[in-house]
Structure 1
């Protein structure tokens, strides 16, 4: 009996060993697969970090590939068994930069929250390959370009939120493929065209469940929340979507009997035609022809630019010098001083000097800027907000960081004269000044400009996609800046000199028209602890430019030199 048991055990030992070996290999295979997947996730997340150019709150400071484990990084959530990244939550982080296409490699990602940041550029097409993604929130950023049709591949997504950006183009009909879509927010963008949908039959959330056609948003039977307001959409509202609240369609250009408040016809005309020049890598009939002729055009434009530079420098210097010699010093308001700088200085301010200029209330700016939560930039002296006014236009609101107790009569004099100076600027290549806000309760001093949703020239030169900046487009921007400077230096009396012109002070519209911001580098009004003599000396120079004619000439020359440096792509 004992010998029989021993023989049986000896016979089964190889089989048991093979089973254990197979199990061990299986475990090793799973571990290797998980490690490989995590390595790919780390690579994708590091690519995202490299695309971020500003991280003021150091949100991504612990993102390092030293240990190869992304699950401990801030904003990253992993699944328990496999260790794959399933959620990326970086809302309200003030991140400034691009969305890296490599995020499309996070194959197990279920949630992507990048809302309320300062992200610009286009939405990567690779995002559409995330088959497990359920939530895609890119709202309240500075994204531009079209909505990629590839997003129709997000088969599991239930929430898509792109509101409050600068997206252009048509709404892709491929969004109708998203059968699990519950919430779609596209409001407060610059979308045009019609809403893709079928008007052949009525629709409600409870109907059309078995439909498989994808000719628009009507087949999205689970769509309970949708918002298309404040765009430039035209045509008729699909009958299949009229179960939605009327506010979901207001602020557009629909030609529909459906009673919805729309934009004025004049704004619709300018808003729709203004998008024709936008090119984001799309195919155009003459694109190939333009590429073939590019060297000839480049040579001609370089010659023209050189000639323009010489004429511009000579004209600017001669005109500025002549205006300062022939005209007396322009003093908008007066100040008296004693023989000694140490004596008290009295500044006289005319309370009616701003009466004829456009004034905006703090309350309407607060509503436009979503309770001043939509911050798009800041310096130690200012905070810049993005907002949408009640009548439609998007604005940039520059708020001075000042306390009432530290605000002196010298500061008030500088502010009021700055408003007057900005109000006289009117040129297509100069950021348009829309108004000011001056209130005492609560204490507020703000400047309001038109909003350029395509970011700054610095962002495009150093972090943008190279394909967007052809030589023809670079020449267009260079000539536009030159035309703006010529206007400031030669056509205005007295001339308006910008003390610091760089790529951060040049903003770009959707069709890549440059807008020089005249208030970018000259808003500083003196800190609370700064010596009064220094403040007054600087205010005297800023408010009375022609009293220092040689300085104005130097500043004009510096602006021209800065313009030349910009042409070199610095």
Structure 2
């Protein structure tokens, strides 16, 4: 009987889990407007201020995203002005049917204005000023019957203002460039509303307003925008008091955070919660609400606009989820109680040993971590494993036993941390968060606090030191030929991924044996753990040319430079010699005498190697000669290098990766108890 009850209970439990998962997926999946906004973001290829840092596809509601303003859960304003965004305007923008205000002024948008913008029938403000839009103005704008302000000046538009704009009876402001001509009669019709125009219409009439009346129209336009902003505040469901009118621009705080991690599609930090604006010093008087049954209501008996209902939006879904969770807990507790009566215990729960913030580091991407957690993991930052020119590396151990590397800047006060340093730091996080490869020391989090001041990045930890140490430090463990070839293949696969699979590509700022770390099973992991690119060695040490050193910001490394550095790295791996020394000079010049004569190639092999494979050595030397070509355009791509290496070396990408990932942070605890 007990066994039958257990079977029925397990079936009920599985059904509840399935129902709960469906409800959770339905309630937390991104809505249609959020999907449209992500399509809009895909067309933006440059975001220097990190405006899209909190546009997280895992959110179920885009209303918390930067620049997105909603009313009753619907996107009604998209304001991304003055952010230096570069890209094109996605046609999907026409699917935001509830949008009332689209403000993209003072950016670098290019291409044509999509005709789908005519689907925004509720649009009241369209501000595309000071961009690089080209082509003609779509006639579909004439369908925007709710449009009150059309601002399209300071672009590269051609042709004329569509005649259909005459249908826009609510239009109170129109600004366009001098090179555009207005359709016959448009300027004449709109002049009676006090519009301000630039250019001439198709009738040849000058559309410039008289000098004496220009100021009047400017004031009208400003008052129109102020009234629009105040009306938007009054329409918010929160019923906040509107701030006093002001003719000055309203400051907007833009928090520039890095973007997403790993694949390049996700932002690098979790959502930044929006905070309401501070209450005004002197709010306008608001009449007291009516008492008793005099509360205003519409003819259908519904609550008046601005008064939210007790249960609105998705709250009923949360209510159902809570009930299901309670039922699930009760059922689970009952099953656990019954199972305890059985003789053998089987499988215990997953034991992570991670607190909330650190657990997110291994689940959702690259979050912002707390200093206190990192301080505990790194034993009060006493466990220093390396020092660099601008930062210090600590080793940390989480409560689950997972080892991490924490890189902290040596700057200790915010006064010494310039805006340029902050820009470089966030750019570094943005770039590294897009790289997700098993042969790369992946970024798993960052920490940024001002009291006390710190800027940190958290990486995977590779416990076997650097390739440089194993090649040039006698006390380190010897690497045989097969291990060295596996390191070569792992490095090549990772560089191919960075150069060809990522868009835009990511290049390493200073590829050498010191930036290659080794795992427990001696797999290669390329690292880029400093806050900004190293200064590359001068060209005189590389090719004999007398040129100045590279600057650190921005990095001048490119794919061709990485290929050249990869060739030098191959020479260092097979010869065991330093890339440069006073005795031999540049390594490539020392090796030239052997590379040019295949019969003497074996003389350049590291004496510590007891054996090697001639066919692999010959192929590697051929690749070295191609990679260190003085002319960058003649060097092969990493894709070409991989193709050639695979002709002789049968090491797949999976074989070149670490056998045990350093991110193996969750461990299944199996409990076994002998039967009585």
**Which category of TM-score, normalised to the shorter sequence, fits these structures?**
0.3 to 0.5
- State the structure with more CA Rg: 2
Normalised by the length of structure 2, the TM-score is: 0.30
Normalised by the length of structure 1, the TM-score is: 0.35
